[in-house]
Structure 1
Amino acid sequence: MKSISLQDYLQIKNKVRTIDVRTTMEVKTLLKFDWAENIYVSDLIDNFDYYFKDKNEVIITVCNAGNRSGQAADFLENQGYLNAYVLDGGIYNYYRKVK
Protein backbone atom coordinates (compact mmCIF):
# COMPACT_ATOMS: atom_id res chain seq x y z
CA MET A 1 0.00 0.00 0.00
CA LYS A 2 1.26 3.43 -0.92
CA SER A 3 0.50 6.23 1.47
CA ILE A 4 0.63 10.00 1.31
CA SER A 5 1.62 12.15 4.23
CA LEU A 6 -0.74 14.75 5.60
CA GLN A 7 1.69 17.50 4.59
CA ASP A 8 1.84 16.29 0.98
CA TYR A 9 -1.92 15.80 0.83
CA LEU A 10 -2.56 19.36 2.00
CA GLN A 11 -0.57 20.63 -0.98
CA ILE A 12 -2.50 18.61 -3.58
CA LYS A 13 -5.95 17.94 -2.09
CA ASN A 14 -7.69 20.31 -4.53
CA LYS A 15 -6.06 18.62 -7.54
CA VAL A 16 -6.76 14.96 -6.75
CA ARG A 17 -9.79 12.71 -6.31
CA THR A 18 -10.43 12.00 -2.63
CA ILE A 19 -12.65 9.03 -1.87
CA ASP A 20 -14.11 8.37 1.59
CA VAL A 21 -14.61 4.60 1.80
CA ARG A 22 -16.71 4.57 4.98
CA THR A 23 -20.42 3.77 5.19
CA THR A 24 -22.96 6.48 4.45
CA MET A 25 -23.96 6.51 8.13
CA GLU A 26 -20.36 7.09 9.23
CA VAL A 27 -19.99 9.95 6.78
CA LYS A 28 -23.21 11.52 8.07
CA THR A 29 -22.33 11.20 11.77
CA LEU A 30 -18.52 11.45 12.03
CA LEU A 31 -15.88 13.93 10.93
CA LYS A 32 -15.63 14.11 7.16
CA PHE A 33 -14.07 15.94 4.24
CA ASP A 34 -16.67 18.03 2.39
CA TRP A 35 -14.66 17.63 -0.82
CA ALA A 36 -14.51 13.81 -0.72
CA GLU A 37 -16.73 11.42 -2.65
CA ASN A 38 -18.31 8.70 -0.55
CA ILE A 39 -17.94 5.22 -2.06
CA TYR A 40 -18.17 2.47 0.55
CA VAL A 41 -15.19 0.13 0.31
CA SER A 42 -17.20 -2.97 -0.65
CA ASP A 43 -19.06 -1.00 -3.34
CA LEU A 44 -15.75 0.36 -4.62
CA ILE A 45 -14.39 -3.18 -4.93
CA ASP A 46 -17.54 -4.71 -6.41
CA ASN A 47 -18.15 -1.91 -8.92
CA PHE A 48 -14.76 -0.32 -9.52
CA ASP A 49 -15.24 -0.32 -13.32
CA TYR A 50 -18.24 1.96 -12.81
CA TYR A 51 -16.42 4.45 -10.57
CA PHE A 52 -12.96 4.47 -12.13
CA LYS A 53 -12.03 5.00 -15.77
CA ASP A 54 -8.69 6.83 -15.84
CA LYS A 55 -5.84 4.68 -14.56
CA ASN A 56 -3.58 7.77 -14.48
CA GLU A 57 -5.86 9.69 -12.12
CA VAL A 58 -4.44 10.44 -8.67
CA ILE A 59 -6.77 8.91 -6.08
CA ILE A 60 -6.49 9.38 -2.32
CA THR A 61 -8.59 7.02 -0.22
CA VAL A 62 -9.61 8.03 3.30
CA CYS A 63 -11.48 6.59 6.28
CA ASN A 64 -11.34 7.18 10.03
CA ALA A 65 -7.80 5.93 10.65
CA GLY A 66 -6.57 4.31 7.44
CA ASN A 67 -7.56 0.64 7.63
CA ARG A 68 -10.39 0.42 5.09
CA SER A 69 -8.85 3.12 2.94
CA GLY A 70 -5.65 1.07 2.84
CA GLN A 71 -7.65 -1.92 1.64
CA ALA A 72 -9.24 0.24 -1.08
CA ALA A 73 -5.90 1.73 -2.19
CA ASP A 74 -4.32 -1.73 -2.36
CA PHE A 75 -7.25 -3.01 -4.41
CA LEU A 76 -7.05 -0.10 -6.85
CA GLU A 77 -3.31 -0.52 -7.23
CA ASN A 78 -3.82 -4.22 -7.97
CA GLN A 79 -6.30 -3.22 -10.70
CA GLY A 80 -3.66 -1.03 -12.38
CA TYR A 81 -4.44 2.31 -10.74
CA LEU A 82 -0.84 3.09 -9.84
CA ASN A 83 -1.62 6.55 -8.47
CA ALA A 84 -3.86 5.31 -5.65
CA TYR A 85 -2.74 6.30 -2.15
CA VAL A 86 -4.08 6.12 1.37
CA LEU A 87 -3.94 9.20 3.60
CA ASP A 88 -1.61 8.57 6.55
CA GLY A 89 -3.63 8.51 9.76
CA GLY A 90 -6.96 9.06 8.03
CA ILE A 91 -9.53 11.74 8.69
CA TYR A 92 -8.95 11.74 12.46
CA ASN A 93 -5.27 12.57 11.97
CA TYR A 94 -6.19 15.37 9.57
CA TYR A 95 -8.54 17.05 12.04
CA ARG A 96 -6.19 16.49 14.97
CA LYS A 97 -3.32 18.24 13.19
CA VAL A 98 -5.00 20.73 10.83
CA LYS A 99 -8.22 21.96 12.43
Structure 2
Amino acid sequence: MRSISFDEYLKIQDTARTIDVRTASEVKTLLKFNWAENIYVDDLIRNFKTYFPDKNQLIVTVCNAGNRSGQAAQFLQENGYQNAYVLTGGIYNYFRNKK
Protein backbone atom coordinates (compact mmCIF):
# COMPACT_ATOMS: atom_id res chain seq x y z
CA MET A 1 0.00 0.00 0.00
CA ARG A 2 1.23 3.47 -0.85
CA SER A 3 1.16 6.10 1.84
CA ILE A 4 1.59 9.86 1.86
CA SER A 5 3.38 11.82 4.58
CA PHE A 6 2.06 14.85 6.42
CA ASP A 7 4.30 17.19 4.39
CA GLU A 8 3.32 15.57 1.08
CA TYR A 9 -0.36 15.79 1.99
CA LEU A 10 -0.12 19.51 2.73
CA LYS A 11 1.06 20.05 -0.85
CA ILE A 12 -1.85 18.18 -2.48
CA GLN A 13 -4.59 18.60 0.12
CA ASP A 14 -6.56 21.08 -2.02
CA THR A 15 -6.53 18.88 -5.12
CA ALA A 16 -6.92 15.42 -3.55
CA ARG A 17 -10.24 13.83 -2.71
CA THR A 18 -9.89 13.12 1.02
CA ILE A 19 -12.03 10.24 2.27
CA ASP A 20 -12.59 9.69 6.00
CA VAL A 21 -13.38 5.98 6.34
CA ARG A 22 -14.51 6.03 9.99
CA THR A 23 -18.09 5.59 11.21
CA ALA A 24 -20.39 8.62 11.18
CA SER A 25 -20.41 8.69 15.00
CA GLU A 26 -16.61 8.76 15.12
CA VAL A 27 -16.54 11.64 12.65
CA LYS A 28 -19.04 13.55 14.82
CA THR A 29 -17.20 13.04 18.10
CA LEU A 30 -13.47 12.88 17.26
CA LEU A 31 -10.94 15.09 15.49
CA LYS A 32 -11.79 15.43 11.81
CA PHE A 33 -10.99 17.21 8.58
CA ASN A 34 -13.86 19.52 7.64
CA TRP A 35 -12.98 19.05 3.96
CA ALA A 36 -13.08 15.23 3.99
CA GLU A 37 -15.97 13.12 2.72
CA ASN A 38 -17.16 10.46 5.14
CA ILE A 39 -17.52 7.05 3.49
CA TYR A 40 -17.34 4.20 6.02
CA VAL A 41 -14.70 1.64 5.01
CA ASP A 42 -17.16 -1.25 4.59
CA ASP A 43 -19.44 0.88 2.42
CA LEU A 44 -16.45 2.09 0.39
CA ILE A 45 -15.38 -1.49 -0.32
CA ARG A 46 -18.91 -2.62 -1.25
CA ASN A 47 -19.67 0.38 -3.49
CA PHE A 48 -16.27 1.66 -4.64
CA LYS A 49 -17.24 1.81 -8.32
CA THR A 50 -20.12 4.14 -7.47
CA TYR A 51 -18.01 6.41 -5.27
CA PHE A 52 -14.95 6.46 -7.51
CA PRO A 53 -15.85 6.25 -11.22
CA ASP A 54 -12.53 7.89 -12.21
CA LYS A 55 -9.65 5.50 -11.55
CA ASN A 56 -7.13 8.31 -12.17
CA GLN A 57 -8.47 10.60 -9.45
CA LEU A 58 -6.09 11.45 -6.58
CA ILE A 59 -7.56 9.89 -3.43
CA VAL A 60 -6.24 10.08 0.14
CA THR A 61 -7.95 7.90 2.74
CA VAL A 62 -7.85 8.88 6.42
CA CYS A 63 -8.96 7.56 9.80
CA ASN A 64 -7.75 8.02 13.38
CA ALA A 65 -4.34 6.36 13.07
CA GLY A 66 -4.18 4.86 9.58
CA ASN A 67 -5.39 1.28 10.05
CA ARG A 68 -8.81 1.32 8.39
CA SER A 69 -7.74 3.95 5.89
CA GLY A 70 -4.77 1.74 5.02
CA GLN A 71 -7.19 -1.11 4.35
CA ALA A 72 -9.28 1.17 2.11
CA ALA A 73 -6.27 2.52 0.18
CA GLN A 74 -4.90 -0.99 -0.30
CA PHE A 75 -8.26 -2.18 -1.59
CA LEU A 76 -8.51 0.72 -4.04
CA GLN A 77 -4.95 0.15 -5.28
CA GLU A 78 -5.65 -3.55 -5.82
CA ASN A 79 -8.70 -2.56 -7.87
CA GLY A 80 -6.82 -0.28 -10.25
CA TYR A 81 -6.79 3.06 -8.43
CA GLN A 82 -3.09 3.81 -8.70
CA ASN A 83 -3.50 7.31 -7.24
CA ALA A 84 -5.00 6.10 -3.95
CA TYR A 85 -2.93 6.75 -0.83
CA VAL A 86 -3.29 6.50 2.92
CA LEU A 87 -2.25 9.42 5.13
CA THR A 88 0.61 8.16 7.27
CA GLY A 89 -0.38 8.15 10.96
CA GLY A 90 -3.93 9.28 10.21
CA ILE A 91 -5.79 12.31 11.45
CA TYR A 92 -4.12 12.25 14.86
CA ASN A 93 -0.69 12.48 13.25
CA TYR A 94 -1.87 15.34 11.03
CA PHE A 95 -3.02 17.46 13.99
CA ARG A 96 0.08 16.55 16.01
CA ASN A 97 2.28 17.89 13.18
CA LYS A 98 0.05 20.85 12.21
CA LYS A 99 0.97 22.87 15.33
Same fold by TM-score, threshold 0.5 exceeded? yes
Aligned structure 1 segments of 4 or more residues deviating by more than 3 angstroms: none
Aligned equivalent of 2:60 = 60
**Deviations along 1:28-71, whole A, 9 cap, x unmatched?**
00000000000000000011111011010010000000000000
Shift in Å, 1:76 = 0.3
TM-score, length basis structure 1: 0.98
CA separation in 1, counterparts of 2:17 and 2:10?
Answer: 13
Letter in 2 for 1:29: T
Shift in Å, 1:98 = 0.1
Aligned equivalent of 2:36 = 36
User: Tell me, which stretches of 5 or more residues in structure 2 are unaligned?
Assistant: none
CA separation in 1, counterparts of 2:42 and 2:21?
Answer: 8
Letter in 2 for 1:91: I
User: 2:75 aligned with 1:78, yes or no?
Assistant: no
TM-score, length basis structure 2: 0.98
Q: Following superposition of structure 1 onto structure 2, how do residues 7-26 of structure 1 map, counting pairs within 5 Å?
A: 7-26=7-26
CA separation in 2, counterparts of 1:92 and 1:60?
Answer: 15
Aligned-partner SS, 2:57: coil
Shift in Å, 1:97 = 1.0
What's the C-alpha RMSD, in Å, of the aligned pairs? Answer: 0.5
Aligned-partner SS, 1:61: strand
Shift in Å, 1:81 = 0.3
Aligned-partner SS, 1:86: strand
CA separation in 1, counterparts of 2:46 and 2:8?
Answer: 30
